[in-house]
Structure 1
C-alpha cells in the first residue's frame, strides 16, 4: 500500500473580521507568516513584483510567508483575515516555488470556515491599540503560543483542519505551479533540507558538494538547474528569511540574529539583508512595527 503523508502543518496566529479605511496603506511588507483574506465588502489592492491585484468581494487571497507586497485601501474595505505560521518536516515551505499573491473565487464553504474559525478561536484579533509600538514582540508571540497550548484537542485539531482547507483552495493546477519533487535529484533535495536545518553553520558550496559526493562546479550547476538559483544566492535568501522571522518573533539584537543565521559579522549581515529585501535591518524592523500589527 502506498502511503502519502502531509509534510506541512499550520499554526494559528490571528483571525478576525475587520473594517478598514485609508489608514490601511503599507508598502514593502514582508511577513514571516501566511495571510489569507476573504473580502466581503469595499475594495482595495495588493501587489508584488509580478502583479497588481484588486481586492474585491467574493474572492480569497493568499500572501505566502516572506512575500514582498504592498497593501492599500483607498476608502473602505471589509475583510475576514487569518494569519498563521507554517512548519514542515523538511523545513521547505509548501510555497517555496510560489512566493506570490494568489487569488481564487470564494465558495460558500470558505465563508463558513472563516466564521467557524472565529467562533472556536475568540479573542484572536489584533485590535489592541492604535499604536503598534506598544507591543513587545516576544510577549505577543508567547501569548499566541500559550493560546494555542490552551486549546482543547478538539479545537486545536479543527483549527488546523480549517487552515488546511483554506490553503488547499490555492493548490489547484490552475493556480499553483508546483514542481514535482520526484523530478529533483535526491542529492539536491538533501542539500536543500540540510541548508534549511543548518543556517547558522558553515554552508560553503564546497562543503555542500562534498556532502553530496559531487564536484563543486557540477553540484552548483545541478542545484541551479533544479532550484532556479545558485547555491550561494539560495543560502543568502534562506538566511535572511530566518533573520526576518527572528526579528519579528524575538527581541534578539541584530548581532545575535547575524550569528544565529550564519553571518560572520553584523556588517556583512546588513549588506546581504539590504541586497535581498531592499532595506536595512533597522528599516525592516521599523516597517514591521508599523504594518504587522
Structure 2
C-alpha cells in the first residue's frame, strides 16, 4: 500500500455570514490567506489577471493566497465567507502554479459545511473598524491565534476537515487546470524545495549551482526552462510571499522579517516588495487592514 502524507494544513482566521452593499469595493487586493465565498443572494464581482467572475447565488468561489484581485458589489450581496491561512511542511502552496479565482456550483453538502463551520466557531466574524489606527494588527492576529489555540481537539480536527473539504472542491481536475507538466530534473526539483525551507539563508545563484554540482550558466538556463523564472527572481518572489505571511501572522518588525526572509537590508526589502506587489510594505499593511476589517 502506498502511504501518502498530507503536507498542507489550514489555520482559521475568520468565518461569518454578511450582508454587503456598494461599500464593499476594493481594488488590487493581495493577501497572504485564502478566501472562500458562498453566495446565497444578490450579486457582485471578483476579478483577477485572468478576467472577471460574477458573484451569484448558488456558487462557491475561492481566492487563493497571494492572488491579486478586485472585489465589488454594486447593490446587495448575501455572503458566507471563510478566511484561512495555509501551512505546509516545505513552505509550498497547493495553488502555487494556479493563483486564479475559481468558481464551482455549490451542493447541499457545501452549504452544510459552511453552517457547521459557523456553528463550531462562533464569534469569528469581522466586527472592527477599518481604521488601522483604531485596531492594532498585533492585537487582532494575536486574538485569532489564541482562539485557535483554545479549540479542543474535536473542534480543531473538524475545522481542519471542513477547510480541507471546501478547498478540495476547487482541486477537482475538471476545475483546477494544471499548467502543462514537464519532467523537472531531480536537481532542480531538489533546489526548489531547498529554497522554500532556507529563504533566510544565503541563496546566491553560485551557491545553488554549486549544491547542484552544475556550471552557473547551465544551472540558470535549466532553472528558467523548468520554472519560467531566473533563480534570483524566483527567490525574491518566494521571499516576498513569506514576508507577506509573516506581516499577517506575527508581530515581527520589518527588520526581523528581513532576517527571516533573507533580505540583506530594509531598503532592498522595501524596493523588492514594491516591485513585486505594486505597493510598499506599509501600504500593503494598510490595505490588508481595510480589506480584513470591512471584509
TM-score range, shorter chain: over 0.9
Q: Equivalent residue for 1:245?
A: 245
TM-superposed CA distance for 1:183, in Å, is 3.1
Q: Equivalent residue for 1:153?
A: 153
| Structure 1 position 108 matched with structure 2 position 99 | no
Residues 183-219 of structure 1: CA deviation (Å, up to 9, x unaligned)? 3333222211211112122111111111122222222
Distance 2:292 2:128 in 1: 13
SS of alignment partner, residue 191 of structure 1: helix
Q: Equivalent residue for 2:6?
A: 6
Q: Equivalent residue for 1:262?
A: 262
In structure 1, stretches of 5+ residues that fail to align are: none
TM-superposed CA distance for 1:182, in Å, is 8.9
- Report if the CA contact (8 A) 1:188-1:223 is conserved: yes
Q: Equivalent residue for 1:233?
A: 233
Q: Cα gap change, 1:142/1:150 in structure 2, threshold over 3 Å: closer, same or farther?
A: same
- Report if the CA contact (8 A) 1:31-1:292 is conserved: no
Q: Equivalent residue for 1:18?
A: 18
Distance 1:29 1:255 in 2: 24
TM-superposed CA distance for 1:152, in Å, is 1.4
Moved more, 147-156 or 245-254: 245-254
Q: Equivalent residue for 1:139?
A: 139
Residues 25-76 of structure 1: CA deviation (Å, up to 9, x unaligned)? 1111111111100011111111111111111111111111111111111111
SS of alignment partner, residue 158 of structure 1: helix
Moved more, 259-268 or 226-235: 259-268
SS of alignment partner, residue 3 of structure 2: coil
Residues 139-198 of structure 1: CA deviation (Å, up to 9, x unaligned)? 222221211121111111111111111001101112213369893333222211211112
Q: Equivalent residue for 2:186?
A: 186
Distance 2:215 2:130 in 1: 56
Residues 7-41 of structure 1: CA deviation (Å, up to 9, x unaligned)? 11111111100001111111111111111000111
TM-superposed CA distance for 1:252, in Å, is 3.4
Structure 1 vs Structure 2 CA RMSD = 1.8
- Report if the CA contact (8 A) 1:37-1:60 is conserved: yes
TM-score (norm 2): 0.94
TM-superposed CA distance for 1:287, in Å, is 1.3
SS of alignment partner, residue 171 of structure 2: coil
Q: Cα gap change, 1:89/1:139 in structure 2, threshold over 3 Å: closer, same or farther?
A: same
Distance 1:156 1:147 in 2: 11
Q: Equivalent residue for 1:214?
A: 214
Distance 1:181 1:140 in 2: 41
Q: Cα gap change, 1:179/1:8 in structure 2, threshold over 3 Å: closer, same or farther?
A: farther
Aligned residue runs from structure 1 range 162-173, under 5 A: 162-173=162-173
- Report if the CA contact (8 A) 2:38-2:59 is conserved: yes
SS of alignment partner, residue 52 of structure 1: strand
Matched pairs, number: 293
TM-superposed CA distance for 1:130, in Å, is 5.4
Q: Equivalent residue for 1:66?
A: 66
SS of alignment partner, residue 14 of structure 2: strand
- Report if the CA contact (8 A) 1:63-1:100 is conserved: yes
Q: Cα gap change, 1:285/1:114 in structure 2, threshold over 3 Å: closer, same or farther?
A: same
Q: Equivalent residue for 1:280?
A: 280
Distance 2:120 2:284 in 1: 34
Residues 64-97 of structure 1: CA deviation (Å, up to 9, x unaligned)? 1111111111111111000111111221111110
| Structure 1 position 86 matched with structure 2 position 76 | no
